[in-house]
Amino acid sequence: MPPPTEADLDRLLQAARAARGHAYAPYSRFAVGAALLDEHGRVHAGCNVENAAYPQSLCAEAVALGVLVAGGGTRVRAAVVVGVAAQPVTPCGGCRQKLREFAADDCLVWSADDRGWRARHTLGALLPAGFGPDHLARDTSGTGAGTPVGTAAGTAAAAPAAPASGTLR
């Protein structure tokens, strides 16, 4: 998919800021807005929605993903997260995993606040060695491709030992 254009980034930033203005955050008072660019160039935005039963709260990125799916989107090309804090606000660990369901490792994730851009990361940098849909691909070739390292199709085996030097080759 092509990278987002400057116009796309402007639309994402405006949408994330607008969504942040609607955040329901009476407990933390930490309002967050998020906007996602889908494979068709459409923008989908969401804000955080807190709940007195804290684990039931929704992050802005999760809300935006729900809006994306409800709107017929299936891929995330870019994401913008807007929040005001000393450090750039990035998606939490759970939202990084949720984004991975719809985005590739090279998907760009920008952080911004009320004044402007704060940081840019790839999803792969935010979620290194992330687990995604490709891990669940089924081998239909009969070659064993797609099976875990160290196993043959249909059999279990121990994982290979780490290299003695502690480095990966």
Instruction: Name the residues annotated as catalytic.
Output: 61
- Rounded to whole angstroms, what are the CA distances from 75 to 66, 96, 111, 112? 12, 14, 20, 22
The H-assigned helical ranges of the chain are: 6-20, 60-70, 93-100, 123-126
Burial class (CB in 10 A: 0-12, 13-18, 19+), 105: middle
